[in-house]
């Protein structure tokens, strides 16, 4: 099992909560999306690669498990870890945890495909990312 790394730190604001005081699903996804960029950076991918080599990522699957409620004022971290490296895709997990209790409040499992931004097609995971993820997973 690969060691998780912190990819995001945040706080739940009142305007992110619904009419019954719970953190809303739209903001869970926003935080997971921001954490995913940090996860990809840890995996060896950055915006320089995106602009110079015209490659990126296309998310093709998200599975979210909501496990504990979050409320206004809660501090959270999101930890990420790789699960699988395919030929053209990666699968990874992001866990949103309360800072004060370390409880897992939500878990996103995602599959993302390496993507040629010019030709709009899936391409093999680039060696820099593959090698970094393999080392992370060992």
- According to CATH, the superfamily of the domain at 5-137 is Hotdog Thioesterase (3.10.129.10)
Return the percentage of the chain with pLDDT > 90, whole number.
Answer: 94
Pick from 60, 41, 51: nearest CA to 128: 41
The pLDDT confidence band at residue 1, using thresholds 50, 70 and 90, is low
Residues above pLDDT 70, as percent of the chain: 99
* Predicted confidence (pLDDT) at residue 2 exceeds the cutoff of 80: no
Reported as a single tens digit per residue, the pLDDT across 29-70 is: 999 999 999 999 999 999 998 999 999 999 999 999 999 999
Q: What average pLDDT is seen over the chain? A: 96
pLDDT number for residue 116: 96
Q: For 115-121, what is the mean pLDDT?
A: 96
Q: Are 114 and 124 in contact (CB under 8 A)?
A: yes
Query: Do residues 95 and 32 make contact, with C-beta atoms less than 8 angstroms apart?
Result: no
Q: Is the pLDDT of residue 85 over 60?
A: yes
- Kindly list the domain boundaries of the chain, sorted by start residue: 5-137
Question: CA 25, 29, 33: angle at the middle one, nearest 5?
Answer: 170
Strand partners, 96: 78, 106
């Amino acid at each position: 099992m690969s060691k998780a790394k912190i990819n995001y730190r945040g706080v739940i604001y009142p305007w992110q909560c619904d009419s019954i005081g719970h953190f809303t699903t739209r903001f869970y996804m926003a935080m997971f999306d921001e954490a995913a960029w940090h996860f990809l950076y840890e995996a060896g991918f950055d915006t320089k690669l995106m602009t110079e080599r015209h490659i990126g990522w296309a998310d093709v699957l998200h599975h979210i498990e909501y496990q504990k409620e979050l409320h206004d004022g809660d501090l959270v971290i999101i930890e990420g870890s790789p699960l699988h490296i395919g030929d053209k895709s990666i699968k990874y997990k992001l866990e949103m945890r309360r800072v004060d209790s370390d409880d897992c409040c939500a878990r996103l499992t995602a599959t993302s495909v390496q993507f040629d931004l010019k030709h709009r097609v899936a391409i093999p995971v680039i060696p820099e990312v593959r090698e970094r993820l393999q080392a992370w997973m060992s």
